[in-house]
Amino acid sequence: QHPSPNAGPVEASFAGALGVRLGGTLSYGGRVEHRPVLNGGGRAVEVVDIERAVRLSRRVGWLALGVAIAVRKVRT
């Protein structure tokens, strides 16, 4: 039910992995939006979660790169 079919699954995955709750009523540039709550059982986001999310994103990126390299080696 997320307005972005591409971002929704990623945001939901990160919310679950970080144990935080995302979504709900949000304000973007003075415009209020109501989005589905992702990981409703999670805790509220804190400032320290930004660095945790960055670290997780880097790990996922390196993992994706490793998988891509492995697949390429298998195909050649």
Beta strands in the chain (DSSP E): 22-28, 31-38
Domain boundaries, the chain: 7-75
Look up tokens 């400032």; give the residue.
47
Q: What is the mean pLDDT of residues 47-72?
A: 97
Angle (nearest 5°) at CA 10 between 51 and 23: 80
**Cβ distance 44 to 21 under 8 Å?**
yes
**Which residues does 35 contact at the CB level (< 8 Å), separation at least 6?**
2, 3, 23, 24, 25, 26
pLDDT band, very low/low/confident/very high, at 6 (cuts 50, 70, 90): confident
Question: Has residue 58 got a pLDDT over 70?
Answer: yes
pLDDT band, very low/low/confident/very high, at 2 (cuts 50, 70, 90): low
Question: Has residue 60 got a pLDDT over 90?
Answer: yes
**Cβ distance 20 to 40 under 8 Å?**
no
Write out pLDDT tens, residues 16-56.
Answer: 999 999 988 988 788 998 888 999 999 999 999 999 999 99
